[in-house]
Structure 1
Amino acid sequence: MSIQYPLKFEPILKERIWGGKKLHSVLNKVTDKENIGESWELSDVKGDVSIVANGKYKGKSLEFLITEYKDTLLGKKVYKNFGNNFPLLIKFIDAKEALSIQLHPNDALAKKRHNSFGKTEMWYVMQADKAANLIVGFQKDSNKEEYLKHLENKSLLEILNVDEVEKGDVYFIPTGRIHAIGAGVLLAEIQQTSDVTYRIYDWDRKDDQGNGRELHTELALDAIDYTAIDKYKSDYTPEVNASKNIVDCQYFTTNIIELDGTISIDNSDKDSFVIYMAVDGNVTISYNDDKEIQLNKGETILMPACLSKYVLKSEEKSEVLEVYIK
């Protein structure tokens, strides 16, 4: 038994103090809320498990599908490594205001402290307002003492790296790397299944009750990677109607497909589910010889591992992110 069609899921929309309206106005998420910061597109996080939105399994949970279909959904190697747990969390994020400056612990620390996976992640910038930026890493190598001095003085930006960004920019965020999404950025985020975040500075912002959000100063100290690198933005060269790699790590591989016409996909060698996120334009997926499903901008779709051959086509210039596990 296997699932023989691409799976869409109901978006899980999250109100955030820094959220805005772009998930509704740009990505067509249905909501009447004013400050939706995140759309969890594919999630196995406890309490926020995705529900199928289409086809035979509409209304069933991702958890149910994995339990029922195991490696035919996930792939043999993925199922062997993760069992009935889905290994990735897929999001769209709209930052009307800047997110907190934060980082995530590695697998070992997250397991010890939170019985969780760590959180390696990546960002693909879908849209950025003029002068919008991302904070990623240190400008030069630092240490606990220097970091704590600037944290206490509220001068972290003097030692952190700030990049002005535009559509198409890609950033890989390994565990331990300090980061923050700046105001005016809309992006796709791919990460390990984890909701563990160490918030180190939140711009002294208060909620409606006048309370600041919890900070994790002590927890963060041993989790921070204080080393700097020359360049944080990932370099890549897209190619029309071809799948080009933009991030490749032990937790996930992400490619970008610039589509203007048709591309035939054969994932027989991958032994993994494949996720497509439509980050620009609309795409039609043809599968099982005579069936089609539409993937519109702002939508995400899960291709079961057993459904390895299909065709992507678009009558306009479109872009999709292609995500799987090696």
Structure 2
Amino acid sequence: MSTPYPLQFQPEFKERVWGGRALEHFGLTPPEGHIGEGWMIADHANGTTKVLNGPLAGKGLDEVREQFGTAWLGTKGVSEKGGRFPLLIKLLDCNDDLSVQVHPTDDYEALPPGELGKTEMWYVLDAKPGAHIIYGLNEGVDREALKQALENGTVMDTLRQVPVEAGDTFFIPAGTVHALCAGVVVAEIQQNSDTTYRIYDYNRPGLDGKPRELHVQDSLNVTAYEGAGATTMKTNHAVPGEWLQLAACPYFVVEKGLVTDRWELRTTSDSFTILVVCEGEGRLDWSSADNEHLTLKAGQCYLLPANLGSYTLSGNTTVLRSYLP
């Protein structure tokens, strides 16, 4: 069996009507077009990333999962439903407003075969002055009120708009109506799902010039009108060398860390660790490496195998750490 080491993947880029070119600012090389999503670590039928570095270069995450299983991904590291890697890690460039949307829970009966529900969280990497997002319904909006607003064209009046700036974080449980809006770049940690129900799309055409499909009935069915437990927080109180918890749910834990000195850490046998580099530069060393290390730069994402053991972060950088609870 290969010696475990941190895996970096070639992103799968997705063109979206609302996308732009901001991912280039992270040293990525997306293809031409309106690139809205970089799937950084993915094991999904709609996109599977391939290893960039080390002995496993060229292998897909699905092949890594099949070859090494729980030894590398952890005892909790393979989804019970569908058998795939349980998380999907993205960078999103919102050059325009996304559709107003909502995601189902795992038990929604109309889920596509093999799909999971979708609980997710966002960490805002960059936001233009005045940027905002849609984050939940206004107080008192129930199913009938939302249905009527969709029918009479006043749905925007039912939605809660929240200003955002870099460093803000948003936890979005399935059932929460939401939309990223223009001028925002985020890192997204989510369940491994590509199921989105669009409630409203501003009556705009898609990339093919035709209106994009809406999913009004499914959206009305899965929306949590009393709230699903969505939470938001500022993170400018993070302390160097200590993890600040941003989100914790049955699907993932996400923490923010400020690296200003050598920080000795280790993986555990029950879960892989994902590192998303948000800003600055640093270095990643690990115990099994023979004088090897990785240079950390903003926009990079790494999968640390559960059996990697001890590793060290150093430099001057901000990272997100994600793992399974």
Q: Normalised by the size of structure 2, how large is the TM-score?
A: 0.94
The aligned counterpart of 1:297 is 298
- Structure 1 distance, partners of 2:31, 2:216, is 35
SS in 2 for 1:261: coil
Per the TM alignment, residue 148 of structure 1 is displaced from its structure 2 partner at its CA by 1.1
SS in 2 for 1:149: helix
- Structure 1 distance, partners of 2:107, 2:79, is 20
The aligned counterpart of 2:17 is 17
For residues 70-128 of structure 1, give each alpha carbon's deviation from its aligned partner in whole angstroms, at most 9, with x where no partner exists. Answer: 11111123348468410000000000000000010100116755431100000000000
- Structure 1 distance, partners of 2:30, 2:119, is 29
Answer whether contact 1:21 1:94 (CA < 8 A) is retained: yes
The aligned counterpart of 2:318 is 319
Per the TM alignment, residue 228 of structure 1 is displaced from its structure 2 partner at its CA by 4.3
Per the TM alignment, residue 58 of structure 1 is displaced from its structure 2 partner at its CA by 0.4
Per the TM alignment, residue 50 of structure 1 is displaced from its structure 2 partner at its CA by 1.1
Answer whether contact 1:235 1:246 (CA < 8 A) is retained: no
For residues 208-241 of structure 1, give each alpha carbon's deviation from its aligned partner in whole angstroms, at most 9, with x where no partner exists. Answer: 5541100001111111111248984235541112
The aligned counterpart of 2:262 is 262
Q: Residues 235-314 of structure 1 correspond to what in structure 2 (within 5 A)?
A: 237-268=237-268, 271-288=270-287, 290-314=291-315
Answer whether contact 1:52 1:61 (CA < 8 A) is retained: yes
The aligned counterpart of 1:96 is 95
- Structure 1 distance, partners of 2:150, 2:110, is 27
The aligned counterpart of 2:176 is 177
| Percent identity of paired positions between Structure 1 and Structure 2 | 35
* Consecutive unaligned residues in structure 1, runs of 5 or more: none
Answer whether contact 1:111 1:118 (CA < 8 A) is retained: no
Query: How many positions carry a matched residue from both structures?
Result: 322
Q: Residues 1-326 of structure 1 correspond to what in structure 2 (within 5 A)?
A: 1-24=1-24, 26-79=25-78, 81=80, 84-109=83-108, 112-207=111-206, 209-228=208-227, 232-234=231-233, 237-268=237-268, 271-288=270-287, 290-314=291-315, 316=316, 318-326=317-325
- Structure 2 distance, partners of 1:22, 1:110, is 37
- Structure 2 distance, partners of 1:229, 1:73, is 33
Answer whether contact 2:122 2:169 (CA < 8 A) is retained: yes
Per the TM alignment, residue 186 of structure 1 is displaced from its structure 2 partner at its CA by 0.3
Answer whether contact 1:3 1:73 (CA < 8 A) is retained: no
Worse overlay, 239-248 or 195-204: 239-248
Q: 1:114 to 1:152 in 2, by over 3 A?
A: farther
Answer whether contact 1:255 1:321 (CA < 8 A) is retained: yes
Per the TM alignment, residue 291 of structure 1 is displaced from its structure 2 partner at its CA by 2.3
For residues 24-66 of structure 1, give each alpha carbon's deviation from its aligned partner in whole angstroms, at most 9, with x where no partner exists. Answer: 1x21211341411000001111141110001100001111111
SS in 1 for 2:136: strand
Q: Give the counterpart letter for 2:318 in structure 1.
A: E
- Structure 2 distance, partners of 1:5, 1:230, is 36
Per the TM alignment, residue 267 of structure 1 is displaced from its structure 2 partner at its CA by 2.7
Answer whether contact 1:138 1:227 (CA < 8 A) is retained: no
* Consecutive unaligned residues in structure 2, runs of 5 or more: none
Q: 1:132 to 1:112 in 2, by over 3 A?
A: closer
Over the residues paired in the alignment, what is the CA RMSD in angstroms?
2.0
Q: Normalised by the size of structure 1, how large is the TM-score?
A: 0.93
SS in 1 for 2:69: helix
Answer whether contact 1:3 1:69 (CA < 8 A) is retained: no
Answer whether contact 1:274 1:323 (CA < 8 A) is retained: yes
- Structure 2 distance, partners of 1:209, 1:264, is 50
Q: 1:165 to 1:22 in 2, by over 3 A?
A: same
Q: Give the counterpart letter for 1:308 in structure 2.
A: G
Worse overlay, 228-237 or 245-254: 228-237
SS in 2 for 1:158: helix
Per the TM alignment, residue 2 of structure 1 is displaced from its structure 2 partner at its CA by 4.6
Q: Give the counterpart letter for 2:296 in structure 1.
A: L
SS in 2 for 1:115: coil
Per the TM alignment, residue 207 of structure 1 is displaced from its structure 2 partner at its CA by 3.3
SS in 2 for 1:284: strand
Answer whether contact 1:66 1:84 (CA < 8 A) is retained: no
Q: 1:182 to 1:79 in 2, by over 3 A?
A: closer
